[in-house]
């Protein structure tokens, strides 16, 4: 004779969720706000990337590429590419705050980063080619530091449609002339994005 279920057990069985045979697709994201634009770019780090983490010169162990860092780079390159178009520093400051935010107002540009490939680790010590441009890392407290190369991440920007020229100018300049992490002026953390790459230069056989 099978044991009878109590009323409590029957109630628990009725409330038990059933697992669907097939999981629904992952939502692409929240609906786009009216007057806003969303664009995504696949970006690759083509030279060793160092820095960006909680300790100087080291990569962030959790998020190799942080959205806050990307926004900071875009803000800098916006000034470099668009700053000359304003009559004085006050006008530039006001426009910069209207796009990228201030201590009192949020940024009009939302930045989301999803790391698709963490690449591989590279050392920064003596005897390695990277040591030529990473001499600050040879100090005693920074010895043993490692970076990453071959990192691939998906960058999604969401911004008001009327800001597209400003945002794209900053993004294009950052990807083609800037980088991410430390020592970018020495060539570290250089980026490549096919959608934003400059036209290929002509080679001798192309010149007639």
The total number of structural domains in the chain stands at: 1
Q: What's the whole-model pTM score?
A: 0.73
pLDDT tens per residue, range 132-144: 556 555 554 445 5
Tell whether 183 is covered by a domain.
yes
Question: Residue 76's domain spans which residues?
Answer: 35-195
Round to whole Å and give the CA distance between 80 and 72: 13
Tell whether 4 is covered by a domain.
no
Tell whether 64 is covered by a domain.
yes
Helices 164-177 and 67-82 cross at an angle (nearest 10°) of 100
Only one residue has tokens 């490939």, namely: 117
Which of 163, 160, 157 is CA-nearest to residue 193?
157
Parts of the chain with a pLDDT under 70 = 1-5, 7-21, 23-29, 52-58, 61, 123-146, 201-208
Tell whether 187 is covered by a domain.
yes
pLDDT at 66: 87
Which domain CATH number covers 44?
Answer: 3.30.70
Tell whether 21 is covered by a domain.
no
Tell whether 74 is covered by a domain.
yes
The CA-atom distances, in angstroms, between 36 and each of 109, 157, 188 are 10, 10, 34
pLDDT at 140: 46
Tell whether 168 is covered by a domain.
yes
């Amino acid at each position: 004779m099978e044991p009878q279920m109590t009323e409590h057990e029957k109630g628990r069985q009725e409330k038990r969720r059933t697992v669907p045979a097939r999981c629904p697709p992952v939502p692409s994201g929240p609906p786009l706000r009216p007057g806003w634009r969303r664009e995504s770019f696949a970006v690759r780090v083509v030279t060793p990337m160092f820095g960006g983490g909680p300790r100087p010169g080291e990569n962030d162990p959790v998020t190799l590429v942080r959205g806050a860092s990307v926004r900071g780079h875009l803000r800098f390159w916006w000034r470099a590419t668009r700053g000359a178009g304003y009559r004085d520093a006050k006008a530039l400051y006001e426009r910069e705050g209207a796009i990228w935010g201030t201590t009192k107002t949020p940024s009009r540009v939302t930045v989301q980063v999803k790391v698709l490939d963490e690449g591989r680790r590279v050392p920064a010590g003596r005897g390695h080619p990277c040591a030529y441009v990473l001499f600050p890392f040879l100090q005693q407290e920074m010895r043993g530091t490692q970076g990453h190369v071959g990192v691939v991440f998906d960058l999604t920007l969401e911004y008001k449609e009327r800001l597209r020229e400003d945002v794209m100018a900053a993004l294009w300049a950052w990807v083609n002339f800037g980088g991410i992490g430390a020592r970018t002026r020495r060539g570290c953390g250089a980026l490549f994005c096919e959608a934003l790459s400059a036209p290929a230069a002509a080679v001798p056989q192309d010149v007639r």
